[in-house]
């Protein structure tokens, strides 16, 4: 299953059922778990770990040194979970010692062509990155998120669970969970109701989320006052508690 022109370092660990295409390079301290498919002309450098069932398309570059001028060659890691689809020209860099030393990607994500995950970023599971969506360093992406084409996420920003971020948006503050965020500069346009319905949220849960966004975005309350109202009316509901906690822990503020 390994093409004769592929170059595999003796320090790499290759699981069972792995396919590696022509002219691909797998470096030292790379671990490829079972049933991974690596097309031709892929470059993977370590320390790096690729989870089982992941598919990597031509010209992807994974585990290279971070694009950070403070990096001095210290050993850091890239860890990619299971069943991810990594399309052509995707780049993912290892972490830096100053950022925890780890870039992490969860399971079941789709990274379309030319997307980028920079050093020390943490990506959850079941996300879609459309073409050329890019994360700067130290970004945190939750679960069940869609980033449109050419989205740029600023360093240290977060994108909350079930968020939809429109194409070409510039995210310089945290993008709220369950929300539709769009624009340059980005603005929040309320609940991502269609996406939530597709993910199986009940009508009641969607109505609660919509009401929370009404208080947060459309009332005459400031953010603190809106959170007090949301907490008083809907505290104890998991989606609402997560939204409140997300806003209150935002280091860079949230996109409203």
State yes or no: is 98 an active-site residue.
no
Q: Among residues 137, 148, 160, 195, which one is catalytic?
A: 137
State yes or no: is 119 an active-site residue.
yes
State the Cα angle at 88 between 82 and 94, rounded to 5°: 55
Nearest to 55 by CA among 117, 108, 106: 108
Contact 131, 112 (CB under 8 A): yes
Distance CA 196, CA 178 (A): 7
Q: Among residues 68, 107, 108, 120, which one is catalytic?
A: 120
Q: Among residues 119, 138, 144, 162, which one is catalytic?
A: 119
State yes or no: is 183 an active-site residue.
no
Pairing type for strands 179-183 and 186-191 reads: antiparallel
Question: How many Å is the Cα radius of gyration of the chain?
Answer: 20
Distance CA 210, CA 207 (A): 5
Q: For 223, list phi and psi in degrees, rounded to 5.
A: -60, -45
Q: Which two tokens stand for residue 211?
A: 């009401």
Distance CA 115, CA 91 (A): 7
Q: Which residues face 146 on adjacent strands?
A: 128, 164
Nearest to 254 by CA among 197, 186, 196, 198: 186
Contact 155, 141 (CB under 8 A): no
Catalytic residues: 119-120, 137
């Amino acid at each position: 299953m390994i093409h004769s022109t592929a170059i595999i370092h003796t320090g790499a660990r290759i699981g069972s059922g792995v396919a590696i295409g022509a002219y691909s390079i797998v470096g030292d301290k790379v671990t490829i778990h079972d049933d991974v498919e690596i097309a031709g002309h892929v470059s993977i450098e370590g320390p790096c770990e690729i989870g089982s069932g992941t598919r990597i398309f031509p010209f992807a570059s994974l585990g290279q040194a971070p694009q950070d001028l403070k990096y001095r060659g210290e050993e850091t890691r890239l860890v990619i979970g299971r069943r991810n689809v990594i399309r052509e020209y995707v780049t993912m860099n290892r972490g830096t010692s100053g950022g925890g030393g780890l870039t992490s990607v969860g399971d079941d994500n789709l990274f379309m062509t030319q997307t980028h995950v920079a050093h020390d970023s943490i990506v959850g599971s079941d996300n879609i990155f459309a073409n050329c969506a890019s994360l700067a360093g130290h970004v945190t992406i939750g679960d069940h998120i869609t980033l449109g084409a050419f989205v740029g996420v600023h360093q240290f920003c977060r994108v909350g669970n079930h968020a939809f971020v429109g194409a070409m948006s510039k995210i310089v503050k945290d993008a709220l969970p369950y929300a539709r965020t769009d624009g340059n500069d980005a603005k929040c346009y309320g609940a991502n109701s269609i996406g939530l319905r597709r993910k199986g949220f009940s009508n009641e849960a969607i109505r609660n989320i919509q009401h929370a966004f009404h208080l947060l975005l459309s009332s005459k309350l400031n953010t603190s006052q809106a959170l007090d109202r949301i907490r008083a009316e809907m505290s104890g509901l998991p989606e609402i508690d997560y939204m409140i906690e997300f806003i209150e822990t935002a280091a860079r503020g949230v996109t409203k």
